[in-house]
């Protein structure tokens, strides 16, 4: 395996940095201040972006889990692991930023609303995923177990959401559909939309960049392990 850093990856690093900086600038300088909520609404751009990208990462983990179980190629396991790890951090960012927004808007740091509760349970499911991986030494078995667990998690999450949704919700639905009972809802003007989609794009690129790094790190680690065994023989 070639362990040199690919040029495209370096390019992605630079691009991620530039996109994140521009997204921050857009959020603070370009997007207008929302009328009723004021400056705290600016949390929205990164909050929704990290949540969406994180969710897609978990979805990807389940898909590559199925791919691993059908093809038995270890690269799919690696991809699932990397996706879960990064998504866990992205989701945590989404939860914390949401909490910062909720304090002035809902007058509470936390409420047991469907989305919040589901997000918390999703974090716990994938934290359990990492604990499961940490407990298995055999790589093939670890790959099988985590693939199966990722699939289970993927089916359980929507059911959790429905279960809690049956109770009630106050989370605003800004994108697609609407929740008239939602508190802190608002409609986006054009610069807001542009800022939001730009942030979404920025975080998607950052995700891909981190994802690539994570996979490379894992490959280099196993390469080092191989070399060490060779050296000891």
Instruction: By CB under 8 A, name the binding residues for other proteins.
Output: 69, 121, 124-125, 128, 131-132, 134-137, 141, 144-145, 147-149, 151-153, 155-156, 159-160, 162-164, 166
DSSP-based three-state secondary structure for 38: strand
**C-beta of 140: minimal distance to other proteins in Å?**
9
Nearer to other proteins, 156 or 178 (CB): 156
Q: How far is CA 124 from CA 75, 118, 120, 179, in A?
A: 25, 10, 6, 27
Tokens describing residue 66: 């199925």
**C-beta of 144: minimal distance to other proteins in Å?**
5
**C-beta of 72: minimal distance to other proteins in Å?**
10
**C-beta of 133: minimal distance to other proteins in Å?**
9
Q: How far is CA 42 from CA 11, 79, 99, 140, in A?
A: 29, 32, 13, 45
Nearer to other proteins, 12 or 78 (CB): 78
CB 50 within 8 A of CB 69: no
Nearer to other proteins, 30 or 154 (CB): 154
Residues 198 and 206: their CA atoms lie apart, in Å, by 12
DSSP code at position 35: T
**C-beta of 149: minimal distance to other proteins in Å?**
7
Nearer to other proteins, 167 or 175 (CB): 167
Nearer to other proteins, 137 or 233 (CB): 137
Residues 206 and 13: their CA atoms lie apart, in Å, by 8
């Amino acid at each position: 395996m070639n362990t040199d850093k690919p040029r495209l990856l370096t390019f992605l690093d630079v691009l991620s940095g530039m996109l994140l900086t521009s997204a921050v600038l857009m959020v603070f300088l370009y997007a207008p201040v929302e009328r009723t909520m004021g400056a705290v609404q600016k949390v929205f751009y990164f909050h929704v972006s990290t949540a969406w990208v994180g969710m897609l990462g978990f979805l990807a983990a389940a898909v590559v889990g199925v791919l691993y179980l059908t093809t038995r190629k270890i690269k799919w396991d690696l991809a699932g692991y990397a996706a879960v790890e990064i998504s866990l951090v992205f989701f945590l960012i989404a939860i914390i930023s949401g909490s910062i927004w909720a304090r002035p808007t809902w007058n509470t740091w936390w409420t047991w609303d469907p989305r919040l509760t589901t997000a918390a349970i999703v974090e716990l499911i994938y934290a359990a995923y990492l604990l499961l991986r940490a407990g298995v030494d055999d790589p093939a078995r670890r790959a099988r177990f985590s693939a199966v667990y990722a699939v289970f998690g993927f089916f359980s999450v929507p059911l959790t959401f429905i279960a809690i949704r049956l109770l009630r919700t106050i989370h605003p639905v800004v994108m697609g559909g609407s929740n008239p009972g939602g508190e802190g809802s608002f409609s986006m003007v054009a610069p807001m939309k542009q800022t939001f989609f730009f942030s979404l794009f920025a975080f998607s690129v950052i995700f891909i960049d981190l994802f690539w790094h994570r996979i490379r790190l894992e490959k280099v680690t196993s390469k080092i392990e191989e070399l060490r065994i060779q050296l000891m023989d």
